Amino acid sequence: MNPYSMPCAVESDLRRYMAQQDEDDRRDEAIDQRTEDLLAGTEYGPFTPANLSEALGELDMTGIEALCKLLTAGNTAGAGLALNTLIGDYWERAARREAERQIDNEIANACPRCRGRGCRHCYED
Ligand SMILES: [Zn+2]
Protein backbone atom coordinates (compact mmCIF):
# COMPACT_ATOMS: atom_id res chain seq x y z
CA MET A 1 0.00 0.00 0.00
CA ASN A 2 1.26 3.46 -0.90
CA PRO A 3 1.70 5.31 2.38
CA TYR A 4 1.18 8.68 0.68
CA SER A 5 -2.29 8.03 -0.72
CA MET A 6 -5.21 8.66 1.54
CA PRO A 7 -7.51 5.72 2.25
CA CYS A 8 -10.78 6.15 0.34
CA ALA A 9 -12.97 6.25 3.44
CA VAL A 10 -10.90 9.07 4.92
CA GLU A 11 -10.92 11.05 1.69
CA SER A 12 -14.67 10.74 1.29
CA ASP A 13 -15.17 11.79 4.93
CA LEU A 14 -12.92 14.77 4.26
CA ARG A 15 -14.86 15.72 1.13
CA ARG A 16 -18.14 15.49 3.00
CA TYR A 17 -16.70 17.57 5.83
CA MET A 18 -15.49 20.26 3.39
CA ALA A 19 -18.82 20.35 1.56
CA GLN A 20 -20.58 20.77 4.92
CA GLN A 21 -18.16 23.57 5.90
CA ASP A 22 -18.83 25.28 2.56
CA GLU A 23 -22.57 25.07 3.13
CA ASP A 24 -22.26 26.38 6.69
CA ASP A 25 -20.20 29.35 5.43
CA ARG A 26 -22.78 30.14 2.77
CA ARG A 27 -25.57 29.90 5.37
CA ASP A 28 -23.70 32.29 7.73
CA GLU A 29 -23.09 34.79 4.91
CA ALA A 30 -26.71 34.63 3.80
CA ILE A 31 -27.89 35.21 7.39
CA ASP A 32 -25.53 38.21 7.82
CA GLN A 33 -26.80 39.74 4.58
CA ARG A 34 -30.46 39.13 5.43
CA THR A 35 -29.97 40.59 8.92
CA GLU A 36 -28.59 43.78 7.35
CA ASP A 37 -31.49 43.95 4.89
CA LEU A 38 -34.02 43.51 7.70
CA LEU A 39 -32.37 46.19 9.86
CA ALA A 40 -32.57 48.61 6.92
CA GLY A 41 -36.33 48.03 6.57
CA THR A 42 -39.21 49.42 8.63
CA GLU A 43 -40.16 46.12 10.26
CA TYR A 44 -36.80 45.63 12.03
CA GLY A 45 -35.30 49.12 11.79
CA PRO A 46 -34.42 50.24 15.37
CA PHE A 47 -35.51 53.86 15.04
CA THR A 48 -39.10 53.84 13.89
CA PRO A 49 -41.48 55.10 16.61
CA ALA A 50 -43.10 51.67 17.07
CA ASN A 51 -39.78 49.80 17.21
CA LEU A 52 -38.05 52.30 19.49
CA SER A 53 -41.04 52.13 21.81
CA GLU A 54 -40.98 48.31 21.82
CA ALA A 55 -37.24 48.14 22.53
CA LEU A 56 -37.50 50.71 25.34
CA GLY A 57 -40.22 48.60 26.94
CA GLU A 58 -37.98 45.52 26.72
CA LEU A 59 -34.83 47.08 28.26
CA ASP A 60 -33.55 44.93 31.10
CA MET A 61 -32.65 46.29 34.54
CA THR A 62 -28.91 46.36 33.76
CA GLY A 63 -29.57 48.67 30.81
CA ILE A 64 -31.97 50.86 32.77
CA GLU A 65 -29.50 51.18 35.66
CA ALA A 66 -26.68 52.12 33.30
CA LEU A 67 -28.86 54.84 31.75
CA CYS A 68 -29.91 56.13 35.18
CA LYS A 69 -26.29 56.36 36.30
CA LEU A 70 -25.26 58.29 33.17
CA LEU A 71 -28.25 60.66 33.31
CA THR A 72 -27.82 61.25 37.05
CA ALA A 73 -24.20 62.19 36.39
CA GLY A 74 -25.37 64.62 33.70
CA ASN A 75 -23.65 62.57 31.01
CA THR A 76 -26.37 62.97 28.38
CA ALA A 77 -23.97 62.21 25.52
CA GLY A 78 -22.96 58.95 27.19
CA ALA A 79 -26.61 58.13 27.86
CA GLY A 80 -27.40 58.75 24.19
CA LEU A 81 -24.61 56.41 23.11
CA ALA A 82 -25.72 53.76 25.61
CA LEU A 83 -29.32 54.06 24.43
CA ASN A 84 -28.21 53.79 20.80
CA THR A 85 -26.32 50.57 21.61
CA LEU A 86 -29.11 49.06 23.73
CA ILE A 87 -31.81 49.72 21.13
CA GLY A 88 -29.55 48.69 18.24
CA ASP A 89 -28.61 45.40 19.97
CA TYR A 90 -32.25 44.59 20.67
CA TRP A 91 -33.23 44.93 17.00
CA GLU A 92 -30.03 43.28 15.74
CA ARG A 93 -30.92 40.19 17.81
CA ALA A 94 -34.52 40.25 16.56
CA ALA A 95 -33.45 40.70 12.92
CA ARG A 96 -30.87 37.89 13.21
CA ARG A 97 -33.46 35.49 14.65
CA GLU A 98 -35.81 36.31 11.76
CA ALA A 99 -32.98 36.05 9.19
CA GLU A 100 -32.02 32.59 10.51
CA ARG A 101 -35.63 31.47 10.29
CA GLN A 102 -35.99 32.78 6.72
CA ILE A 103 -32.66 31.39 5.44
CA ASP A 104 -33.16 27.95 7.04
CA ASN A 105 -36.61 27.86 5.51
CA GLU A 106 -35.18 28.78 2.10
CA ILE A 107 -32.43 26.11 2.43
CA ALA A 108 -35.04 23.49 3.37
CA ASN A 109 -37.08 24.37 0.28
CA ALA A 110 -34.12 24.74 -2.10
CA CYS A 111 -33.54 22.52 -5.14
CA PRO A 112 -32.17 19.20 -3.76
CA ARG A 113 -29.72 18.79 -6.68
CA CYS A 114 -27.77 22.02 -6.25
CA ARG A 115 -29.23 23.32 -2.94
CA GLY A 116 -30.22 26.62 -4.47
CA ARG A 117 -26.94 27.35 -6.24
CA GLY A 118 -28.85 27.50 -9.53
CA CYS A 119 -28.92 24.53 -11.94
CA ARG A 120 -31.10 23.45 -14.85
CA HIS A 121 -33.32 21.44 -12.46
CA CYS A 122 -34.12 24.37 -10.18
CA TYR A 123 -37.30 25.43 -11.95
CA GLU A 124 -38.50 22.01 -13.14
CA ASP A 125 -41.43 21.47 -10.78
ZN1 LIG B 1 -30.94 23.41 -8.78
- Tens-place pLDDT, residues 6-33: 778 888 888 888 888 988 999 999 999 9
Can you give the pLDDT at residue 42?
A: 95
Residue 114: predicted pLDDT:
82
Which residues, in sequence order, are CB contacts of 113 under 8 Å at separation 6+? 119, 121, 122
Mean pLDDT of the chain: 91
Please say whether the beta carbons of 55 and 86 come within 8 A: yes
**Centroid of ligand 1 to alpha carbon of 19 (angstroms):** 16
Taking the centre of ligand 1 as the mean of its atom positions, its distance from the CA of residue 120, in whole angstroms, is 6
User: What separation in Å is there between the alpha carbon of 97 and the centre of ligand 1?
Assistant: 26
CA of 29 relative to ligand 1 center, distance in Å: 19
Q: In the 3-class helix/strand/coil scheme, how is 16-85 assigned residue by residue?
A: HHHHHHHHHHHHHHHHHHHHHHHHHCCCCCCCCHHHHHHHHHCCCHHHHHHHHHHHHCCCHHHHHHHHHH
| Percent of the chain residues topping a pLDDT of 90 | 66
Residue range 63-75: average pLDDT? 97
What average pLDDT does the segment 26-45 reach?
Answer: 97
pLDDT of residue 4: 67
**113 CA distance to ligand 1 centroid (A)?**
5
d(C-alpha 69, C-alpha 78), whole Å: 10
Distance between Cα 118 and ligand 1 center (Å):
5
How far is the centre of ligand 1, averaged over its atoms, from the C-alpha of 44 (Å)? 31
